[in-house]
């Protein structure tokens, strides 16, 4: 089994068709098909089944992908570190990030990173915290920025920030609210919240259970953008990290209220695999994300209400 064959296999698995995989690898299609056939012959198992939807991996193919992807990433990272001799980073960064964090800092972080390290390519996946952590454990991601899990993961975990969750309404919200809202008050409001699959909802539910607060949202969706647009245009309220509307508060016409008694806090961490050190390129990207998150981590203060006519 050759390294080239493993690279071809992983690319075909991820792309799903010979045409796209060959284009990504910059080789002709027959060369790719021949190497996959040799690999199947050596292993004595079919790795793909051809269908109208493309090349569908078999059970053996899925198992091989899980086993060999971390090895291939380790080889790529080792090569990048050996080539990192002139001070200029190169290679590929593959990280995950929960959506509420991505919305707050990702665009600016990508711009800053691309300007400083033009030879590095980047892939950023978003998803639930548990899913992203599983991908780090399985080698699909170099690192992930997630909500701190409540159970041990067997991964390295570096604390980034403790962030307040805040009550968010539209600027023309008709119900009178105090500058700082007691948590118990939120059960009297019409709420739009993430579903129970979402890490933010799990954090809210843990606080609600501890304080005997009934969180019964009228609407649920995991799209933070959709929640914010709904809150802007209606009399619904929501509870989200303030970072979710960083640089967008005026655009969406929203007002934030700190929640007190108790203060609701989520912990944001970066998880990495203990046996797969970050490449210099990945470490530099995580450092930029961390810097930008901490720059936004300021104590929540109630937004000033509009002046009365």
Number of domains in the chain: 2
Q: Is the separation of the CB atoms in 247 and 201 below 8 Å?
A: no
Tens digits of residue pLDDT in 197-248: 888 898 999 999 999 999 899 999 998 889 999 999 999 999 999 888 766 6
pLDDT at 306: 41
Give the CATH number of the domain where residue 47 resides. 1.10.10.10
pLDDT at 137: 86
In a domain, 82, yes or no: no
In a domain, 292, yes or no: no
Please give the C-alpha separations between residue 81 and each of 6, 32, 70, 279, in angstroms, as whole numbers: 21, 28, 16, 7
SS3 at position 274: coil
Domain that holds residue 236: 162-266
Tens digits of residue pLDDT in 8-29: 888 888 888 888 888 888 888 8
Would you state the structure tokens that stand for residue 175, as one six-digit string?
């119900």
In a domain, 279, yes or no: no
Kindly calculate the radius of gyration of the chain based on its CA atoms and give it in whole angstroms: 23
The domain boundary residue, chosen from 16, 45, 69: 69
In a domain, 65, yes or no: yes
Buried/exposed 30-45: b ≥16 CB within 10 Å, e otherwise: eebbebbeebbeeeee
Q: What is the pTM of this model?
A: 0.71
Q: What share of the chain is helix, strand, coil (3-state, %, to 5)?
A: 45, 20, 30
In a domain, 283, yes or no: no
- Name residue, tokens 């991505």: 102
In a domain, 114, yes or no: no
In a domain, 143, yes or no: no
Give the CATH number of the domain where residue 244 resides. 3.40.190.290
- Does the pLDDT at position 193 exceed 90? yes
- Give the pairing of strands 91-97 and 143-147: parallel
The domain boundary residue, chosen from 69, 90, 117: 69
The domain boundary residue, chosen from 69, 89, 106: 69
Please tell me the number of Cα atoms within 13 Å of 199 on its side-chain side: 26
Tens digits of residue pLDDT in 88-147: 788 889 999 998 888 888 999 999 999 999 989 999 998 889 899 988 988 889 999 999
Closest CA to 159 of 53, 17, 288, 294: 294
In a domain, 220, yes or no: yes
């Amino acid at each position: 089994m050759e390294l080239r064959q493993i690279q071809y296999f992983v690319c075909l698995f991820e792309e799903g068709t010979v045409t796209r995989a060959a284009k990504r690898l910059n080789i002709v299609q027959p060369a790719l098909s021949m190497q996959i056939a040799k690999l199947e012959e050596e292993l004595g198992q079919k790795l793909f089944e051809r269908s109208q939807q493309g090349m569908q991996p078999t059970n053996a193919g899925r198992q091989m992908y899980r086993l060999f992807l971390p090895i291939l990433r380790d080889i790529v990272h080792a090569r990048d570190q050996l080539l990192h001799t002139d001070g200029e980073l190169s290679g590929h960064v593959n990280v995950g990030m929960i959506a509420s964090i991505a919305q707050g800092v990702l665009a600016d972080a990508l711009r800053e990173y691309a300007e400083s390290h033009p030879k590095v390519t980047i892939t950023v996946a978003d998803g639930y915290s548990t899913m992203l952590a599983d991908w780090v454990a399985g080698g699909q991601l170099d690192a992930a920025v997630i909500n701190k899990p409540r159970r041990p993961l067997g991964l390295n975990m570096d604390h980034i920030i403790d962030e307040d969750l805040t009550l968010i309404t539209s600027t023309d919200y008709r119900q009178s609210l105090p500058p700082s809202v007691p948590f118990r008050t939120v059960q009297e409001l019409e709420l739009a919240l993430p579903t129970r699959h979402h890490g933010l909802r799990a954090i809210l539910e843990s606080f609600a259970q501890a304080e005997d607060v009934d969180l019964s949202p009228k609407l649920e969706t995991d799209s933070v953008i959709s929640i914010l647009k709904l809150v802007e245009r209606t009399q619904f309220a929501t509870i989200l990290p303030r970072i979710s509307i960083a640089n967008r508060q005026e655009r969406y016409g929203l007002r934030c209220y700190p929640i007190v008694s108790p203060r609701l806090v989520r912990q944001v961490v970066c998880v990495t695999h203990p046996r797969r050190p970050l490449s210099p390129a990945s470490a530099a990207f995580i450092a930029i994300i961390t810097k930008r998150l901490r720059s936004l981590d300021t104590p929540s203060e109630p937004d000033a209400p509009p002046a009365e006519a």
